[in-house]
Amino acid sequence: MAASATAAVIREVNERYHDGAATGYDAKWGIDFGPVGQQQVVGKLAKALGHEPGPYARALEIGAGTGYFSLNLVQAGVVREAVCTDISPGMLETLQANAKGLGLSVETVACDAESLPFDDASFDFVLGHAVLHHLPDLDGAFRELLRVLRPGGTFAFAGEPSRRGDRIATFPKRAAVRAAPVWRRVLRAQPAELGHSDGGAENHQYEGAVDVHAFSPEELAGFARRAGFADVRVRGEELLASWFGWTNRTLEASADPDTVPFAWKLYAYRGYLLLQEVDRRLLERRLPPAIFYNLMVAGRRP
Ligand SMILES: C[S@@+](CC[C@H](N)C(=O)[O-])C[C@H]1O[C@@H](n2cnc3c(N)ncnc32)[C@H](O)[C@@H]1O
């Protein structure tokens, strides 16, 4: 009883927080729907799967947010028909506005990933990015994902925080909080209003309550295997890029975005892309997944 009450609160807080954060979400996370965004998303899937992805006739995304994965995958020709779901109607409104701006047509359905309103075996591909760590009942969610996927169909999730990587990332975040006043002075940036990138101070208070898991690679694979998926593989990505990214995002979150110089934004963006390449070419093949910030998991329905 207590556990299910807690699960209900987690879902409610996720819906409320993401509804409030939806309008500023793409700017906060630097989400791109051009060639760079497409390359990033296709590259992440290729890493998760161990081969080039798709093409998939009909795909379901859970926790689709503003459309980062699905809209880029449709544009890249990896997915033909995308059904985008999320617990937050506000995020799906922004997703539809993004789709309209790109001239794309996608179906959106507001629903909980743990209770999907779709027929059995109705998708060729099921995916998500940065969503599993928000779900209170992961065993239930993976059972639902298996149910709606056709036999032989593929699933892939990326952007899930690793427990060890998350712990390591607290150091650059803390250092950046301490350095923020000096950084703003040097760049002549003005302090931000609290929660400006999360839809205001009231909404910002929920930010810490929406993330409910960080994973070890074995735990993440365990959820998929227990549900009945086969050929389950877990990979890690982003080490240097995540330290660099978290430092800069924490500094930038302390400032009014309109007063942060363009040259800084360019440096942060290009530096992040460069370090992602260093991680990909040098570190991800050599180091164990557990130390990277992000985990990805993929497999297929037997
Ligand atoms: C960190 S955001 C990621 C959004 C998008 N996938 C991206 O990568 O930009 C997590 C998303 O998961 C959604 N979410 C949280 N709990 C959920 C649930 N129980 N069922 C479905 N979606 C959920 C949130 O509303 C939010 O849009």
Beta-bridge mates of residue 100: none
If phi over 0 gives left and psi between -120 and 50 gives alpha, with beta otherwise, what is residue 30? left
Helix (H) or strand (E) holding 185: helix 163-187
DSSP state for residue 139 in the 8-state scheme: H
Closest ligand 1 atom to Cα of 64: 6
Q: What is the mean pLDDT of residues 116-126?
A: 98
Lowest mean pLDDT across 63-72, 173-182, 205-214, 273-282: 205-214
Instruction: Confirm if 244 and 275 have CB atoms less than 8 A apart.
Output: yes
Pocket mutation for ligand 1, best pick of 115, 131, 145, 160 (most atoms within 8 Å of C-beta): 131
Round to whole Å and give the CA distance between 301 and 13: 32
Q: What is the mean pLDDT of residues 131-145?
A: 97
Q: What is the mean pLDDT of residues 206-235?
A: 92
**Which pairing describes strands 56-61 and 123-129: parallel, antiparallel, or unpaired?**
parallel
Rounded to the nearest angstrom, the distance between the alpha carbon of 158 and the centre of ligand 1 is 12
Q: What is the dihedral of CA 265, 271, 272, 278, to 10 degrees?
A: 170
Helix (H) or strand (E) holding 143: helix 138-148
Closest ligand 1 atom to Cα of 29: 9
Round to whole Å and give the CA distance between 77 and 5: 42
Burial (CB < 10 A; 0-12, 13-18, 19+), residue 181, is: exposed
User: Please, what is the average pLDDT of the chain?
Assistant: 93
Closest ligand 1 atom to Cα of 18: 25
Which residue has the CA at smallest separation from atom 5 of ligand 1? 65
DSSP state for residue 40 in the 8-state scheme: H
Lowest mean pLDDT across 54-63, 72-81, 191-200, 238-247: 191-200
What pLDDT is recorded for position 209?
A: 76
Higher pLDDT: 77 or 197? It is: 77
Instruction: Confirm if 236 and 289 have CB atoms less than 8 A apart.
Output: yes
Amino acid at 251: L
Rounded to the nearest angstrom, the distance between the alpha carbon of 55 and the centre of ligand 1 is 24
Most confident of 77-86, 200-209, 261-270: 77-86
Q: What is the mean pLDDT of residues 216-233?
A: 98
Rounded to the nearest angstrom, the distance between the alpha carbon of 187 and the centre of ligand 1 is 34
pLDDT digits (tens, 9 = 90+) for 243-266: 999 999 899 989 998 899 999 999
What pLDDT is recorded for position 196?
A: 67
Q: CB under 6 Å to ligand 1: residues? A: 11, 14, 18, 62-65, 68-69, 86-88, 91, 112-113, 129-131, 134-135, 159
Q: Which of 120, 64, 59, 58 is nearest to 87 (CA)?
A: 64
Rounded to the nearest angstrom, the distance between the alpha carbon of 51 and the centre of ligand 1 is 26
Cβ neighbours of residue 173 closer than 8 Å, sequence gap 6 or more: 246, 247, 250
Pocket mutation for ligand 1, best pick of 4, 87, 238 (most atoms within 8 Å of C-beta): 87
What pLDDT is recorded for position 193?
A: 77
Compute CA distances 179 → 77, 168, 194, 245, whole Å.
43, 18, 17, 15
Give percent of the chain above pLDDT 90: 83
CA angle in degrees (0–180, nearest 5) for 198-75-269: 45
Rounded to the nearest angstrom, the distance between the alpha carbon of 132 and the centre of ligand 1 is 8
Tokens of 253: 């979150």
Q: Is the pLDDT of residue 132 over 60?
A: yes
Residue 1 confidence class, pLDDT cut points 50, 70, 90: very low
Closest ligand 1 atom to Cα of 17: 25
Q: Is the pLDDT of residue 26 over 60?
A: yes
What pLDDT is recorded for position 289?
A: 94
Tokens 């002549």, residue located: 188
What pLDDT is recorded for position 4?
A: 54
What pLDDT is recorded for position 269?
A: 92
Residue 232 confidence class, pLDDT cut points 50, 70, 90: very high
Which residue has the CA at smallest separation from atom 11 of ligand 1? 63
Q: Is the pLDDT of residue 2 over 50?
A: no
